[in-house]
Structures are given as C-alpha cells and as structure tokens.
Chain A
Amino acid sequence: MELSDSLGTTHPLKKLTPGDWLYALVVLAAAGVAFARYGDAMDVYEDAILAGSTLGLIAQGWFWKAFRWYFPLSGALALAGIGLYEQDLARAQSAFGLKYLLSSQSAIMWMCTLFFLATAVYWLGLLKRSDLLTRIASGLTWSAAVMGLTGLFVRWYESYLIAPDVGHIPVSNLYEVFVLFCLITALMYLYYEAKFAARQMGAFVLLVISAAVGFILWYTFDRQAHEIQPLIPALQSWWMKIHVPANFVGYGAFALAAMLGVAELMALKGWLAGKLPAPEVLDEVMYKAIAVGFLFFTIATILGAMWAADAWGGYWSWDPKETWALIVWLNYAAWLHIRLVKGWRGAPLAWWAVIGLFVTTFAFIGVNMFLSGLHSYGSL
C-alpha cells in the first residue's frame, strides 16, 4: 500500500509511526510537568499558550520527522544544564558542565562557533562538489541549532534564578531575538535542505546566519548585551510569547529567501557553474520560504496590533515599527502577486527578494537605530 500512502489516501493519523506517538507522549509529559510545577504562576492566557505550543510542537514533529529528535534533545540538554545549576546562579562560573557547555552564554557561544564552522564547511563542500563535506556542514548546522535552543531554554531558567520577578522568556531584547533569528532561519533552512535534497543552498543561507552571529558576538563583547535585564512594564505581557516568535519566523523566512535569491542570480549568470542547484529549484524554495514567511509575518503583525490595543491604546498608531512592518508586508504582498498572478519567474523576482531583505533588515534593526518610537526595544 505504499503507493496510496504517498498519494495521501490513508488517514493521516494512521500513517503515524510508534516514534511519532512516543514523541507526542514526551512532549505531552513535558507540558504536563511544566503545568503541574508552574501552573499556579500562569494566567489563563499562558495556560492557552502552553496548550497551543504543546499541540503545535507535536504537529511540528509529525510533519517534520527530524524535529522528533531535535526538540527532545535540546530539551534534555537544557534540563541537564538546569540540573547543574542546583538553584545557584554562581555555579555558572564553577561547574565545569555549565562553564564550558550548558550555561546559556556558553551554549550560545557554541551555537555561534558551530554556525561559523558550518558556513565554512558548506562553502568548501560547494566548491569541491563534495557530498561528504556538505553532509558534515549539515550536521554542524543541526548541532548549532541544538545548542541555540538549549541556550535559550537555559537562559529562560537563569532569568528566574536572578530573581523571581526578573524571570521571563528570552525574546525580550535585541540580543535574545538575534539568537532566535539564527535558530529559526537555520531550522527552516534544514527543513528545505532535506525536502529538496539541495545542500549547496547552505553555503548561501549560512552566510546571513553568520552575519547575525557576528552581530551577536559584537553585541556581547562590545556592549555586554547578553546580561539578562528584567522586563519593563510595557513588555510584561503574554503577547510577547507569541508575537515575537511569529515575527521571527517571518524575518527568518525572508532572509532565507533573499539568500536563495542570491544563489539563483548566480546560477542564472552561470557563476559556480555545475556547483549550484538548478535555478528552478532555488526559485521554488525561495517562493515557498516567502509564502510561509508572509503567512507568519501577517499573523505576527496582527498579534502585534492586538498587543498594541492592550498596551498602547490602539491597534494601530502608525508607530515607526508598525509602519515598517506594513511596508515589509506590502513589499512581499506585491512580490507574491507578481509571481502568482503575473507568473513572473527568475532574475527579477530573485533581485526583488534580495532587496526585500534590506527592507526587512531596516524594519528589524534600522527602525531601532534611526527612528524613535514606542517600539525601540533594543538600541545599539
């Protein structure tokens, strides 16, 4: 019955393997423990977010099988790190496992190192047309993603060790969201890499991740931005838990699409001939990334508007950040119309996707640097 399976005739639930169910059980158990331990401190919205993310994570694991080991592994590492703390923040400097591997700062530094390595190996693999090297690079990217998620989980815990009223999900400042950006972009890339069996794309996508990693390093060492700060009143909201991640799926997807645009332009020009995937493949992945990015960016902007209605007195205030979100949205709306209705393909859209990254980057960082408004959550 293999054929009918691939045609989607069997009921989706019947296709699930014991591994899928085991994964679901693990996620459910983790959510159950979290609820039992911390349910008292959560309000009804946070209960809903926990329930929603539990279902979302299960669905994600069923949809993308690699997630079934990725998520539990990161979780287990994070738990190991949390265990090593023994409720004492100072142990980050004394306990070996924390100091060199699992404290959030160490884990994130590992993530940075692994992303840099992966970038180099992807390029080497691309230039040498070595399947082995790109496989290694892919593994490095996975490891980096594991360390990144572990780092964020541990950081979440660390913030509560500083003081119970300081604790919060690590998506509240520019440093934390940059880690999130690297993580999400890498994961989305790994999904497409497996789906389209085109590991050469990694050389390009990892470049934008490396750039973000470079920023993280500068921000850490020059500005000490990695220090955990408590949440100011405007950010004390459960909306942050959904608005920020949704936004970064959008940003990550647009960044991914732009880098594929670069690869496609090079392929169309005949550069790196024979070493790049076919332009049509790049074109399709680029479209898929922008489509998913557009969906999440739309959701994120709507969530942002709803948060603004709670915090700033109106769902839309033409704050610079809001306005630039609209500009980004309009840009990709136009891109999708041109592709889907006018049927454009190839170089023009690839160029447009690349330019789109500049617009997105300005909305992401430029607004914080150059424009004033209510939303400047992280200045440089």
Chain B
Amino acid sequence: MTVRQTSFRHALYELLSSMRFAIGLLTILAIASVVGTVLKQNEPYPNYAFEFGPFWFEVFETLGLYDVYHSGWFLTILAFLVISTTLCIVRNGPGFIKDMKAFREKAGDNSLAAMKHSAELSGSPDAATLSAYLARHGFRHKRHERDDGSVVIAAKKGSANKLGYFFAHIALVVICIGGLLDGNLPLKIGELLGRIVPETRDVPQSQVPDESRLSPANLSYRGNVTIAENKSADVIFLNAGKGYLVQELPFIVTLKKFHVDYYSNGMPKLFASDIVVTDKASGRETPATVKVNHPLIVDGVAIYQASFGDGGSPVTFKAWNLGQPSQPPATVKGVSLASQPLEAGGARYTLELGEFRLFNIEDTRSGEELAAKDFEARMKDAREVRQDAKFMKNLGPSIAFKLRDAQGQAREYMHYMSPIEQDGARYLIAGVRSQVSEPFAYLRLPLDDDDKIDSFMRLYATLKNPALYDEIARRTAQKAAAGGVISADMQQQFENSVKWILARFGEGGFKGLESFLDERVPADKRAAVAQTYVKILQGAVIDVMDVAQEKAGLAPWPKDGAHYRMLLDGLVATSAMADYRAPVFLQLTDFTQVQASGLQLTRSPGKNLVYLGSLLLVIGIILMFYVRELRMWFLLRDGKVRVAMASNRHNRELDQEFARHRDALEQVSRG
C-alpha cells in the first residue's frame, strides 16, 4: 500500500465520518424527500404518461420519480447516511467510552486553576469530608495521591449523557437496517438481474408466468388483493413499476361477508370483513373480523382492511326499447363488473356492466344539480382520514355501464335506482357521457303517481309516434278554438302548426326546433317565434298525454299543477333523450348485492428492529438532553483546597450550580 493510497483512504474516512458530511446528508435527504410528496407516488404508469406527455414521462421514469423512496439514488443517500453514522460511532465511540470511564484525576494544577469554574476555598476540609460531600451529592469519585504529597479528588456524575450519544446514533443504524429488511431491495435486485419480471398484461392470475411470481418464502412484502364475498384468494398483487408481481401466500383467505356502516349523517362508521384464513399446509382455519385499525396477524403476515367495492352483483333491468317505445319493456339480467351481449333495435351491442353501488353518499353542496363526480374510482379507500361530511345525502343504489356498438364505440351510463326528490318533484336519474374525462350529463325522468317511469315512457312513445300527431293536433286546435285563443277559421292552420311542431320536436327535441329557427327565421324574430313554439308545445303536451292514456286504456291524467309540471318535465326529458343516444333505457329494478373487500397483506420482519431502534432513539435523546455530565475536582495541597467544576455544556445553570457548591463547601469546611 502506498502512502498516497493510505492518505486517500484516511481522507475518505475523515470525510464520511465528519459532522459536515452528516449535516449535508440530512439536508440532501430532506430535500430529496420533498420530491416524493409533491409528485403522487406509485400511480399506474398510464396516469403519469397522460399527465406529463411522452417526453417528460420518460425523463421522470429514468429518474425514478414515480417511486422516489425506492429509487437507486434515494437508497444511496440512505446508505451513505448509515455509513456516515456508523463511521461517526466508530470514530468517536472509543474516545467517548474512555471519557465516560475516566475521572481525569491526573489533571494538573494549572489546568484546574484555569478552568472557568474554579476557586480556592477559604477553609480546609479534609479528604474524608470532601468524599462524603461528593457521595451525598451523587458524585462518584477517585482519589489520586501525587508524588509530591498533594491529593486530587476527581468526581463525576451524569456519564449517561455520553451513553445517550451511543443510543441515539446506534438507533438510527438499527432503524435503517430494519427498514431495509422490509424494503423491496431484493425485488429490485431480482428485477435488475432479470430473475424477476413484472407482469404487464391483464391476465387471470393463474396464467401469470413463474418469473412474475414470488414464493411464500419471500421475506417481506406488501400487496393487495380484492376478494368478493364467498370467494377466496391465495395470492396478492405487488405493485412493480409498469406492472405487477404475484406473491403467493402460505394460506387461503376467504371473505365471508363485508360490512359497511354509516353514521346518521352519512359519514362512514365501520368497514369490516369477516374472513377465514386456511393454512395451506395444516388446513387449520382461523376465522376473524378485520377492521380498519384492527388487522389480523397470521404466521407473521398482517391482514388489513384497505378498501372495498362491488364484487359482482346480480342485477335486473327493465329494458325500455327507445327505438320502438310503444313496446312493453323486456327484462334483462346481468352481473355487475361483467360483459354480456345485448340486442336492441336489430343491432348488436355489448353491455359492459360496471360497478354496482348500494349507497351513493353524495355531496349535495353544489345545489340542485347532482355533483358531477368521478365515478371511476372502483375501490373506495377505507383508510382515508378525511372527514368532510356535512352535506351528505344518500342517493341510493346505482349501476354504471357502457354500451358498446359493433364498431367499438361506447357511451357510458350511470343509472340510479331510487326516486330522487328535487325541487319538490320526484325523478329517476340517469347520467350519460361519451368521454371518460367528461362529467356525466344527467337526465331527470319524471315519476308518476305510482313513483314509476311508465307514464313518462307512454308520453315519450306518443311524442315519438307520428301516426298520433293528427289526433293530438286536432284536440289541441279544438281546445284552443273553444277557449277563444284562436278564431275558428284559424283552427286548421293552427292544427297544422301543432303537427309540424310535434314532428320537429319528436325528431330532435328542443334542439330540433332551434335548428329550424336558426335556418329559417331571421335573427331578430327568433326569440318571439321560439316562445310561440314552446307555448304551443306546452299546450299540446296535455293532449299528448290524454292520447297516450287513451291508447293504453287508462284514465286520463288529472289536470292540476303537479301533473302539468310532470308533463313539462316530460318534455325536457324527451328532448334530452336525443342526447342520451341509446337503443334501450335500462332501468335498474332489482339487485342482490355482492360486495368485495380490498385487503392489504404485509410481512415486515424488520418491524421489531425498527421499534427497538425507536426505543433506543428516545432513550438516547432523553439522556443527551436531560442528563447533564458534571465533573468536580478537589485539589488538596498544603492545607489549601481548590474546587473546580466542568460540564459538557456551558450554560447559566453551571454558573449557579458552581456558586451553590462553593457556598455549601465553605459551610462544610467551617464545620
């Protein structure tokens, strides 16, 4: 080894174990940590790609910003911190231990006299008195007889202060090792070596190849699995960058029942899963209820309640054929979260049923309109600590679904089952959108006296049936003439207008009328004409309903305000149906709820080490800050006694304490 090498090594050792290096690392670690709090971590990669665009997505991915705390560079900083702390202990430890043990009884006269807290006593107590004094005040001491006959009594207390240094710094190393045990370093190394390859396809778990599976012997993991009621799982899924890994479990988890409970104001009160854990080897069964804050621990694996959602619920729809609305509705059955073919209006569709929800606790603060919320979030997080629940209202069961045509085009729907009261009237609510990024546009179908949409559907069918326009127009014109709104010779012309308006409206709703106005009527007259059209339509709708009831062999509707309002709502809904653009209206009529529980399973053997480190850390901090190291010397020479004191920290307390000791010693020496 050459001198240069030695000196380089020494310089490196000096640097790594130095204080400024450690402070630098603390600062860098703090700043690096900020990055991961600003950018949401461990999201699915497509989300990042969508947010940042292809270029920055790549850059950020290379930098490991999507999982900062497990990235190579972050772990390197942590590793340096551990090295630095360890070297700091190695470097300072021996000196500290020596210092803790030492009484410094060899202190020279000059150095004792030069101490900031040092004084000659006026009396001259003997060594025995001084020893007794020290013992009484909790000092341990050592007597040193010098060759020249003088005596030094060196005393100290509070050496545990130095012990605090060891505790606190060793604690950090222990915590980091514990954390490392529970980290995913082995997985990362496996991925680097190509032994482990995350699965990126969306395939059934059983088809995931071996290189994406981890054996139950894996030391530590943290993954999730969603289990529907009365279903089981014996694997969990670990998030791994672009894809996922399948972790096999030593047991089978079966979900018996998922419970969710709400307070009277709509805030969630309880999420709990009744599960049975069956050991694969022994067949031993452990039944338990897992709740948020109350995990179940089996064979060192902790099972947590993490989320919940729909587990595939059988649902029944009344399918109203919107192409031929006069036909009675058919029954369609399905299971949520599953797809099935659907034939409507002679065309083939795929009905992709989405999530079924029993409760829809909605924020009603936005007023009359239903809040356009994102219903995409499949699984609700059960562990969130947010609690804003002042304006919550339960909208009842809902089902989301998509209707995909033969060309692959799909529109998305959100149907509620229960009547919802708005502004004193009752409606059935249905949302529609063509883009996931858009909010839902909501349709409000007015409900009749039986709380059904049947009357609306009759109205709709009649409005859409040109064969009935003659009859309706005749009645409307007759009434108008009888009421003196129009003159008798105008009746025929008025009848034609009604027919024409019904036809326009039937084709395209209010928009149909509007586009006609835009094309044919000069801009300055449009408003007036539009008003007339709407008035005629609002008059005719009573007759539309009468005809609809007659055709169905039912009694005519009462002519009162509430029913008239339903009719006007019916016109609005009919018009909006033009944007609904579906061959069928699937009215949710029945369901059997099957819930799913999202469980998180973790194995973290480093936990106890981390807790041990934490305990050491707290003890260390207490010792360092609240135990003061005090040293006291007596120098007995020629019948004179000098007292000196020192502490590891110079502060006002030592000034006062020294003065008090001096006074007390003067008293003692006077006897």
Name A's B-contacting residues (CB within 8 A). Answer: 3-4, 6-9, 163, 165-166, 172-173, 224, 227, 229-237, 239, 280, 284, 291-292, 294-295, 298-299, 302, 305-306, 309-316, 318, 320, 323-324, 326-327, 330-331, 333-334, 337-338, 340-342, 367, 371-379
Residues of chain A within 8 A (CB-CB) of B664 are 3-4, 7
Contact (Cβ within 8 A) B618 A295: yes
Instruction: Indicate if B264 sits at the interface (CB-CB under 8 A).
Output: yes
14 A-B pairs whose Cβ atoms sit less than 8 Å apart in the complex: A163-B263, A163-B264, A172-B387, A230-B267, A234-B384, A239-B293, A315-B607, A316-B179, A318-B68, A330-B29, A372-B40, A374-B381, A378-B387, A379-B386
Contact (Cβ within 8 A) A298 B384: no
Name the CB-closest residue of B to A4. B664
Known: A334-B26, A338-B23. A8 touches B267 (CB 8 A): no
Partner of B293, one of A4, A234, A372: A234
Instruction: Indicate if B625 sits at the interface (CB-CB under 8 A).
Output: yes
Contact (Cβ within 8 A) B269 A233: yes
Known: A9-B137, A229-B389, A298-B621. A284 touches B651 (CB 8 A): yes
Q: Which of B30-38, B94-102, B547-555, B561-569 contacts A (4 or more CB under 8 A)?
A: B30-38
Contact (Cβ within 8 A) A314 B19: no
Instruction: Indicate if B69 sits at the interface (CB-CB under 8 A).
Output: yes
| Segment 494-523 of B: residues with Cβ below 8 Å from A | none
Cβ distance B28 to chain A, nearest Cβ, rounded Å: 10
**Could you tell me the distance between the alpha carbons of A222 and B358 in the complex, rounded to whole angstroms?**
34
Known: A3-B667, A166-B263, A324-B37. A232 touches B137 (CB 8 A): no
Residues of chain B within 8 A (CB-CB) of A330 are 26-27, 29-30
Residues of chain A within 8 A (CB-CB) of B667 are 3
**Could you tell me the distance between the alpha carbons of A337 and B168 in the complex, rounded to whole angstroms?**
12
Contact (Cβ within 8 A) B292 A311: yes
Residues of chain A within 8 A (CB-CB) of B385 are 232, 234-235, 374-377
**Could you tell me the distance between the alpha carbons of A302 and B172 in the complex, rounded to whole angstroms?**
13
Q: Which of B7-15, B342-350, B467-475, B609-617 contacts A (4 or more CB under 8 A)?
A: B609-617
Cβ distance B158 to chain A, nearest Cβ, rounded Å: 12
Contact (Cβ within 8 A) B29 A233: no
Name the CB-closest residue of B to A375. B385
Residues of chain A within 8 A (CB-CB) of B302 are 309, 313
Name the CB-closest residue of B to A224. B390
Cβ distance A165 to chain B, nearest Cβ, rounded Å: 7
Shortest 7 CB-CB distances between A and B: which pairs? A233-B292, A320-B37, A313-B600, A377-B385, A302-B614, A313-B304, A237-B293
Instruction: Indicate if B652 sits at the interface (CB-CB under 8 A).
Output: yes
Name the CB-closest residue of A to B306. A313
Instruction: Indicate if B268 sits at the interface (CB-CB under 8 A).
Output: yes
Residues of chain A within 8 A (CB-CB) of B387 are 172-173, 229, 231-232, 235, 377-378
Instruction: Indicate if B265 sits at the interface (CB-CB under 8 A).
Output: yes
Cβ distance A52 to chain B, nearest Cβ, rounded Å: 15
User: Number of residues in B with C-beta < 8 Å to the partner?
Assistant: 71
Contact (Cβ within 8 A) B26 A233: no
Residues of chain B within 8 A (CB-CB) of A377 are 385-387
Name the CB-closest residue of A to B606. A315
**Could you tell me the distance between the alpha carbons of A316 and B183 in the complex, rounded to whole angstroms?**
10
Partner of A233, one of B138, B271, B618: B271
Residues of chain A within 8 A (CB-CB) of B622 are 295
Name the CB-closest residue of B to A331. B30
Contact (Cβ within 8 A) B30 A310: no
Residues of chain A within 8 A (CB-CB) of B618 are 295, 298-299, 302
**Could you tell me the distance between the alpha carbons of A112 and B382 in the complex, rounded to whole angstroms?**
36
Contact (Cβ within 8 A) B33 A232: no
Residues of chain B within 8 A (CB-CB) of A372 are 40
Contact (Cβ within 8 A) A311 B33: no
Cβ distance B622 to chain A, nearest Cβ, rounded Å: 7
Contact (Cβ within 8 A) B621 A327: no
Partner of A337, one of B19, B386, B651: B19
Contact (Cβ within 8 A) B661 A7: yes
| Segment 562-618 of B: residues with Cβ below 8 Å from A | 600, 602, 604, 607, 610-611, 614, 617-618
Cβ distance B273 to chain A, nearest Cβ, rounded Å: 12
**Could you tell me the distance between the alpha carbons of A236 and B293 in the complex, rounded to whole angstroms?**
7
| Segment 125-150 of B: residues with Cβ below 8 Å from A | 136-138
Write out, one digit per residue, whether chain B residues 61-93 have a CB within 8 A of any chain A CB (1) or not (0): 000000011000000000000000000000000
Contact (Cβ within 8 A) A233 B37: no
Cβ distance A287 to chain B, nearest Cβ, rounded Å: 9
Contact (Cβ within 8 A) B293 A314: no
Contact (Cβ within 8 A) B293 A309: no
Instruction: Indicate if B365 sits at the interface (CB-CB under 8 A).
Output: no
Contact (Cβ within 8 A) B222 A314: yes
Contact (Cβ within 8 A) A315 B293: no
Name the CB-closest residue of A to B22. A337
Known: A302-B617, A327-B30, A374-B381. A312 touches B37 (CB 8 A): no
Partner of B33, one of A310, A327, A379: A327
Contact (Cβ within 8 A) A341 B19: yes
**Could you tell me the distance between the alpha carbons of A378 and B664 in the complex, rounded to whole angstroms?**
57
Instruction: Indicate if B663 sits at the interface (CB-CB under 8 A).
Output: yes
Instruction: Indicate if B186 sits at the interface (CB-CB under 8 A).
Output: no
Cβ distance A135 to chain B, nearest Cβ, rounded Å: 23
Known: A295-B618, A318-B69, A330-B29. A233 touches B222 (CB 8 A): no
Residues of chain B within 8 A (CB-CB) of A227 are 390
Residues of chain B within 8 A (CB-CB) of A235 are 385, 387
Contact (Cβ within 8 A) A374 B384: yes
Apart from A7-B137, A235-B387, A298-B621, what 17 extra A-B contacts exist at CB < 8 Å?
Answer: A4-B136, A9-B137, A232-B268, A233-B382, A280-B652, A284-B652, A298-B617, A299-B618, A311-B292, A313-B306, A315-B610, A318-B69, A326-B33, A327-B33, A334-B27, A371-B37, A373-B37
Contact (Cβ within 8 A) A371 B38: yes
**Could you tell me the distance between the alpha carbons of A331 and B36 in the complex, rounded to whole angstroms?**
17
Residues of chain B within 8 A (CB-CB) of A292 are 625
Instruction: Indicate if B464 sits at the interface (CB-CB under 8 A).
Output: no
**Could you tell me the distance between the alpha carbons of A318 and B36 in the complex, rounded to whole angstroms?**
8
Instruction: Indicate if B660 sits at the interface (CB-CB under 8 A).
Output: yes
Instruction: Indicate if B383 sits at the interface (CB-CB under 8 A).
Output: yes
**Could you tell me the distance between the alpha carbons of A232 and B26 in the complex, rounded to whole angstroms?**
36
| Segment 421-464 of B: residues with Cβ below 8 Å from A | none
Residues of chain B within 8 A (CB-CB) of A318 are 36, 41, 68-69
Residues of chain A within 8 A (CB-CB) of B68 are 318
Cβ distance A169 to chain B, nearest Cβ, rounded Å: 15
Contact (Cβ within 8 A) B293 A232: no
Partner of B383, one of A172, A312, A320: A312
**Could you tell me the distance between the alpha carbons of A292 and B137 in the complex, rounded to whole angstroms?**
26
Instruction: Indicate if B388 sits at the interface (CB-CB under 8 A).
Output: yes
Contact (Cβ within 8 A) A229 B222: no
Contact (Cβ within 8 A) B267 A334: no
Contact (Cβ within 8 A) B293 A311: yes
Contact (Cβ within 8 A) B663 A230: no
**Could you tell me the distance between the alpha carbons of A88 and B251 in the complex, rounded to whole angstroms?**
52
Cβ distance B163 to chain A, nearest Cβ, rounded Å: 15
Known: A224-B390, A327-B30. A315 touches B604 (CB 8 A): yes
Contact (Cβ within 8 A) A311 B383: yes
Residues of chain B within 8 A (CB-CB) of A314 are 182, 222, 602, 604
Instruction: Indicate if B291 sits at the interface (CB-CB under 8 A).
Output: yes
Cβ distance B25 to chain A, nearest Cβ, rounded Å: 9
Residues of chain A within 8 A (CB-CB) of B136 are 4, 9
Residues of chain A within 8 A (CB-CB) of B304 are 311-313
Residues of chain A within 8 A (CB-CB) of B41 are 318
Name the CB-closest residue of A to B304. A313
Instruction: Indicate if B396 sits at the interface (CB-CB under 8 A).
Output: no
Instruction: Indicate if B243 sits at the interface (CB-CB under 8 A).
Output: no
Cβ distance B667 to chain A, nearest Cβ, rounded Å: 7
Name the CB-closest residue of B to A342. B19
**Could you tell me the distance between the alpha carbons of A331 and B390 in the complex, rounded to whole angstroms?**
38
Instruction: Indicate if B270 sits at the interface (CB-CB under 8 A).
Output: yes
Contact (Cβ within 8 A) A3 B26: no
Q: Which of A239, A333, A341, A342 has the most CB of B within 10 A?
A: A333
**Could you tell me the distance between the alpha carbons of A311 and B614 in the complex, rounded to whole angstroms?**
19
